Amino acid sequence: MTDAAQLNTLASVADERPTRNASSWYTLLKPYIGSPFNAVVTFACLWLIYRLVTGAWGWLVTRAIVEGGPQTCKAAAGAGACWPFLAAKLRFLIFGFYPYDEHWRPALAVLLFLGAMIYSMIPRFWSRRLLWLWLAVVVTCGVLMYGGLFGLTVVNTTNWGGLPLSFMLSSVGLAFGFVLGVLLALARSSKLPAIQVIAVVFIEMVRGVPLVSILFMASVMLPLFMPDGVTIDKLLRAQVAIIIFAGAYIAETVRGGLQAVPKGQHEAAASLGLGYWLSMRKIVLPQALKIVIPPLVNIFIGFFQDTTLVTIIGLLDFLDTVRSAMRDPAWQGIAVLEGYIFAALVYAVFSYGMGSYSRFIERRLKTDHGHGRH
């Protein structure tokens, strides 16, 4: 306060600079309308934004069709959004080809899953018990989705689709991929040459090809290598492909964290008499993982969206149910954008959730200061 006041007097004495209060609007706007050119650009942009916002608002809300069917929307010829499409298709968009009367099962599974996720996001509940909770949740979700027990009818994985499928592929893929990634990262920074070479070859090979080709390998090539009469479920194959791919990427990120942990930490752990695994688990990895939270979340968000690639091997993920719904002959060509807008919203909500949670965790673990002083 006093410093600022002093500076102010000094400045006004020196060149009689206009005081802040009098010209705050001017200083604020100067970069935008200071010169004629800037002013033109600014107003052009404002006009564009205005047009975009009013146009979008008109299409999404004022001119939108809220009630009716395909014919009402077709008559409007795209003047406004066709929300009846979403209303008619909502359950299909979310659950795909899962039998209609059994929709409560994937719904319950998704709720359980989200509940467990939110529960385990709260630091107060962090303990070993979470592992058991997740085991129970995963088994329950599996039974709910597949059935065959407790009088639930069996629903083959070929009928799974929509949001439950996307959640499953990305969360299981990332959970197992994370474990695989940490192991690979440790292997790659190992002092044993054989293990190091295996890790390097694995990581570089997997990173060297696109996810699409790994999925194709899993869905097209693998069955041809299997002995006669044995087929592994396609969903399982895709899931393993995603785990492997995620593992390779996470490994490199984690390795970055491992390298950032000062050598003194390793030595200190060794001098305490801790063995390799114990020193990694108690000393090195906690610090390494803390450092790489932002890039890890980056990978997580990316993979959540990359799972949409499974559509190329005929699995109907959430984005693909949207596309399928648009191909219903009754609606084809009538509702084109509405489904995508819905999908974008869902993906945005979940990605934003992951991003905010990672910022919360970073604050809580104080990565920027805590480093090296655990």
Partner 1 sequence: MSKMITRMVAFGLAAAAFSVFAAPASAQATLEAVRKRGKVLCGVSPTAPGFSYADDKGVRQGFDADVCRAVSSAVFGVPDKVDFVPLNTNVRFQGLQSGEVDLLSRQTTMTFSRDTSLGLDFAPVVFYDGQGLMVSTKLGVKSASELSQSAVCILPGTTTLQNLEDYFKPRNIKYEAVVFENPDEWRNAFFSGRCDVITTDRSDLASVRAIANDPKQYVILPETISKEPLAPVVRQNDSNWRDIVSWTVNALIAAEEYGITKGNIDEQLKSKDPEIQRLLGVNGDLGKMLNVDNKWAYNAIKQLGNYGELFERNLGEKTPLGLTRGPNQLWNKGGLIYSPPFR
Assign residue 275 a region (left: φ > 0; alpha: ψ between -120 and 50; beta: otherwise): beta
In the complex, minimum distance from the CB of residue 232 to partner 1, in angstroms, rounded to a whole number: 6
Cα angle at 146 between 353 and 101, to 5 degrees? 85
**Least spacing, CB of residue 146 vs partner 1, in Å:** 7
The nearer residue to partner 1, 91 or 266, going by C-beta atoms, is 91
User: What is the helix (H) or strand (E) element at residue 317, kind and residue range?
Assistant: strand 316-317
Query: How far apart (Å, rounded) are the C-alpha atoms in residues 247 and 182?
Result: 8
* Closest to partner 1 by CB, 61 or 330: 330
CB of 287 to partner 1, least distance (A): 23
The Cα–Cα gap between 162 and 168 comes to 10
Q: Which residues, at least 6 apart from 139, have a Cβ–Cβ distance to it below 8 Å?
A: none
Q: How far is the CB of 37 from partner 1 (least distance, A)?
A: 36
Angle at the Cα of 81 from the Cα atoms of 91 and 86, rounded to 5 degrees: 5
Q: Give the shortest CB-330-to-partner 1 separation in angstroms.
A: 6
- Rounded CA separation 246/300 (Å): 9
Q: Which residues lie near partner 1 (CB under 8 A)?
A: 77, 88-89, 91-92, 95-100, 128, 135, 146, 156-159, 219-220, 223-224, 226, 228-234, 236, 311-316, 320-321, 323-330, 332-334, 336
Q: Which residue, 243 or 291, has its beta carbon nearer to partner 1?
A: 243
> Between 243 and 292, whose beta carbon lies closer to partner 1?
243
Smallest gap from residue 281 Cβ to partner 1 (A): 12
Between 252 and 320, CB nearer to partner 1: 320
- Tokens for 305? 């969206």
Q: Is 85:72 a contact under the CB 8 Å cutoff?
A: no
Helices (H) then strands (E): counts for the chain: 19, 2
Compute the least distance from the CB of residue 19 to partner 1, in Å: 58
Nearest-approach distance from CB 336 to partner 1, in angstroms: 5
Q: Select 37 or 100, whichever has its Cβ closest to partner 1.
A: 100
Cβ closer to partner 1: 37 or 150? 150
- CB-count burial class (<10 Å; 0-12, 13-18, 19+) for 162: buried
Distance CA(214)–CA(209), nearest Å, equals 7
Residue 242 near residue 173, CB atoms below 8 Å:
yes
Of 185 and 218, which has the nearer Cβ to partner 1? 218
